[in-house]
Amino acid sequence: MPEFRTRPDGTRYPLTPKGKAAGTVVAGAVVAGLLTAAGGGTATESVGSALDSAAEQNAKSSKEDNPRKRNRARTWQRKALREIRDTVKHDLRCAVQSYGQVQQFFLRSPCDSLDQMLFALGDAQGNVIAVSVMWVKMPSADEAGELKKLEDTYGTGDVTPFATEALQLGGIKFTGRHYASRSNGSMVVIAESEAVQGQATTTLLKDVANIAVVLPRP
């Protein structure tokens, strides 16, 4: 039953949501395709771009009826995983949430925005995996490319997750060994995963990072 609103003249009209269905279809189809395709840089970039577009169309979805969250759940089900809990932070400060050469880069070239999603995944064997996804918006595509190149080099520092205690999993240290990144114009997306309970394999942890990096921005 649609919700109605009354105009000043006394007539009533139905309220209809905007841009919801298109974003759901695109994001769901693209993620499903990714999980059955061979990995590769080009595929990741194109899949990520499509999901970014879907996320923009879905930006006004309500918290109670969130197609993107349902799509995430279906995505992880394909890997026999389920999302236990999550937390999202917006408008973090890049130079504060980083260290090493990455931090020095941000001091020279400040980012426009930094958003973060942390979540925990579990499986039937009792394994628990912590996942961090960062969306870093730079002023230009060139600066985004420089940041991605720096992030992709192990030992140069990192953008560090904020408030990991919100996952209620004790101390979580992301090592950067199970890592994926992509860029889309001036946006850089960085995903990392770590085992926090059980014995998740290196292959699974890398697969999780490769999937997480193309999830739509929350």
Distance of alpha carbon 82 from alpha carbon 180, whole angstroms: 20
Please state, in angstroms and as integers, the Cα–Cα distance from residue 84 to each residue in 87, 89, 122, 129, following that order.
Answer: 11, 17, 6, 10
Q: What is the pLDDT of residues 72-103, one digit of tens each?
A: 888 899 999 999 989 999 999 999 999 999 99
Domain boundaries, the chain: 4-212
- Predicted confidence at residue 184, as pLDDT, reads 96
Distance from chain centroid for Cα 76: 13
Percentage of the chain with pLDDT > 70?
70
Please state, in angstroms and as integers, the Cα–Cα distance from residue 127 to each residue in 25, 167, 197, 204, following that order.
Answer: 31, 15, 5, 11
Q: Is the pLDDT of residue 45 over 80?
A: no
Q: Is the pLDDT of residue 107 over 50?
A: yes
Q: Is the pLDDT of residue 65 over 70?
A: no
Which tokens is 183 given?
A: 């860029």
- Predicted confidence at residue 10, as pLDDT, reads 53
Confidence of residue 213 (pLDDT cuts 50, 70, 90): very high
Tell me the pTM: 0.69
Q: Determine whether 206 is exposed, middle or buried from the number of CB atoms within 10 Å of its CB (0-12, 13-18, 19+).
A: middle
